[in-house]
Amino acid sequence: MEIKYIFDNAKDLENKKVILNGWIRNHRPQKEFGFIDFSDGTCFKHLQIVYDNTLSNFLDVSKLLVGSSISVEGTLVKSSGNQEYEVKAKSIAILDSCPDDYPIQAKRHTKEFLRENAYLRPRTNMFQAVFRVRSLAAQGIHKYFGDNGYIYFNAPIITASDCEGAGEMFQVTTLDLDKVAKSGKVDYSKDFFGKLTGLTVSGQLEAETYALAFSKVYTFGPTFRAENSNTKTHMAEFWMIEPEIAFCDLFGLMDIEEEMLKYVIKYVLDNAKDEIEFLDKFVENGLKAKLEKVVNSKFVRVTHEEVIKILKESNEKFEFTPEYGEDIAKEHEKYITEHFGGPVFIYNWPKDIKAFYMKQNDDGKTVGAVDLELPGVGELIGGSQREENYDKLVNRMKELGMNVDDMYWYVNLRKYGSSIHSGFGLGFERLVMYLTGMENIRDVIPYYRTPGNCEF
């Protein structure tokens, strides 16, 4: 029986026999009886097990330390203590007793310590909450897109196209690098795929091919970037959700982003009540109120030009001076989200700082791109309307020195029944940060990959 089942059916199970498998999270042995704080991870709450010296192995049980795995048979009874129910044990089988060098004790550990012990941190309350929220958020996202008629599309992980054109692809090769080094040259025609390939930085380009067949598709998969940045919001491996919608323009896209985000936040609020309450208390005070407020708010929409104007007029001492036509820095993102007190869409960005595929606006200077900025997280979503005009797209690619022939399948979409279409990419871990209040992206993915770190 799982603890979740017991809590969900406690009334019916009262005074009935229950059997449980799980771990000791805390233990208070007394002379003739003892209390075990017990968890099997099926729900956030723990169950208290009470035992006494009628157990045949009472002495062995009373010596058990935190982390031990046990199997309990007993009766579910109303508790006289802090909790509503507890289990009065009839027998406790010791599956594996845990020694005293077990790093996870029944006390508060620092997040840094737990990061170093990432293989054990899911056994703590904090990470039980974080990773249950992560799982629920993923399920909420699939549910949103499924309920709204999107096709779940799986983009390839190994690809030859660098979607963002930022040169941040991890290379995939079976060439013997020692031999290559000795010969002094690389012949990619001899490589596994007969050409230079890498791990995907975005499934967008492939998603576009399916959007122009199914109208609405989305990806949800791992994404890789050999970005040498050690920040609290960047990793070399992260998960991204990338919807792509035909016959949808930039403003329709913002509507979808806003609706989806509110849906997922509400889904988590409804399904992770205990976890959110815990995170609100121990990780980010006011988390629940923050999330509830966003669900009921209207997201602000401002152009990049307006943002620069606001920043310039703010009299704030920025490290980087905000300039028209230039990118905005982390400190600017922070100022803008605080200024508006919630999520902010920034749209119509200068074309020179954005990717080749974005819809060129009539002003000749900007593209139909939109980023969604969140307080405490910064950029959560990057998206755009795509350039659907063949000549404009090809000209832009040539301007940027791209090889148009290699990308024939992408540009041909603009030849064979082209239509306006738009899409976005949502960084899943940044969403989990926002949902849990965790401040470091390394604490919302099971095993993080950052420069110099590939432990576990």
Residues binding ligand 4AD (CB under 6 A) = 163-164, 202, 204, 225, 227, 234-235, 238, 240, 242, 379-383, 423-425, 427, 429-430
User: Residues 278, 125: contact at Cβ < 8 Å?
Assistant: yes
What is the SS3 assignment for 307?
helix
Q: Which does 240 bind (CB under 5 to 8 A by kind): ligand 4AD, Mg ion, none?
A: ligand 4AD
Of 81 and 167, which has the nearer Cβ to ligand 4AD? 167
- For the CB of residue 26, give the shortest distance to Mg ion in the complex, in Å: 44
Binding region for Mg ion (CB under 5 A):
382
Question: How many helices and strands, by DSSP H and E, does the chain display?
Answer: 15, 16
Residue 133 burial class via C-beta count within 10 angstroms: exposed 0-12, middle 13-18, buried 19 and up: buried
Question: What sign for the dihedral angle of Cα 327, 331, 332, 338?
Answer: positive
Q: Give the pair of three-digit tokens for residue 251.
A: 């403003």
Q: Which does 258 bind (CB under 5 to 8 A by kind): Mg ion, ligand 4AD, none?
A: none
Q: Which does 322 bind (CB under 5 to 8 A by kind): Mg ion, ligand 4AD, none?
A: none
Q: Give the pair of three-digit tokens for residue 167.
A: 């040169």
Q: Which does 347 bind (CB under 5 to 8 A by kind): ligand 4AD, Mg ion, none?
A: none
Of 3 and 240, which has the nearer Cβ to ligand 4AD? 240
CA distances from 166 to 158, 161, 362, 380, 412 (A): 17, 11, 25, 19, 23
- For the CB of residue 162, give the shortest distance to Mg ion in the complex, in Å: 15
Of 243 and 382, which has the nearer Cβ to Mg ion? 382
- For the CB of residue 309, give the shortest distance to ligand 4AD in the complex, in Å: 23
Q: Give the pair of three-digit tokens for residue 224.
A: 């890789």
What is the SS3 assignment for 448?
coil
Q: Which does 383 bind (CB under 5 to 8 A by kind): Mg ion, ligand 4AD, none?
A: ligand 4AD
Name the residue with tokens 């998206």: 383
- For the CB of residue 366, give the shortest distance to Mg ion in the complex, in Å: 15
Instruction: State the DSSP H helix or E strand holding residue 24, giving kind and residue range, or none if neither.
Output: strand 17-29
Of 24 and 426, which has the nearer Cβ to ligand 4AD? 426
Q: Which does 387 bind (CB under 5 to 8 A by kind): Mg ion, ligand 4AD, none?
A: none
Q: For the chain, report the end-to-end CA distance as a whole number of angstroms.
A: 31
Of 22 and 423, which has the nearer Cβ to ligand 4AD? 423
- For the CB of residue 371, give the shortest distance to Mg ion in the complex, in Å: 6
Q: Which does 204 bind (CB under 5 to 8 A by kind): ligand 4AD, Mg ion, none?
A: ligand 4AD
Q: Which does 212 bind (CB under 5 to 8 A by kind): Mg ion, ligand 4AD, none?
A: none
Other C-beta atoms lying within 10 Å of the C-beta of residue 26: 15
Of 86 and 371, which has the nearer Cβ to Mg ion? 371
DSSP string, 91-121: EEEEEEPPPTT-S--SS---HHHHHHTTTTG
- For the CB of residue 387, give the shortest distance to ligand 4AD in the complex, in Å: 13
- For the CB of residue 372, give the shortest distance to Mg ion in the complex, in Å: 10
What is the SS3 assignment for 49?
strand
- For the CB of residue 381, give the shortest distance to Mg ion in the complex, in Å: 8
Which residues are bridge partners to 359 per DSSP? Answer: none
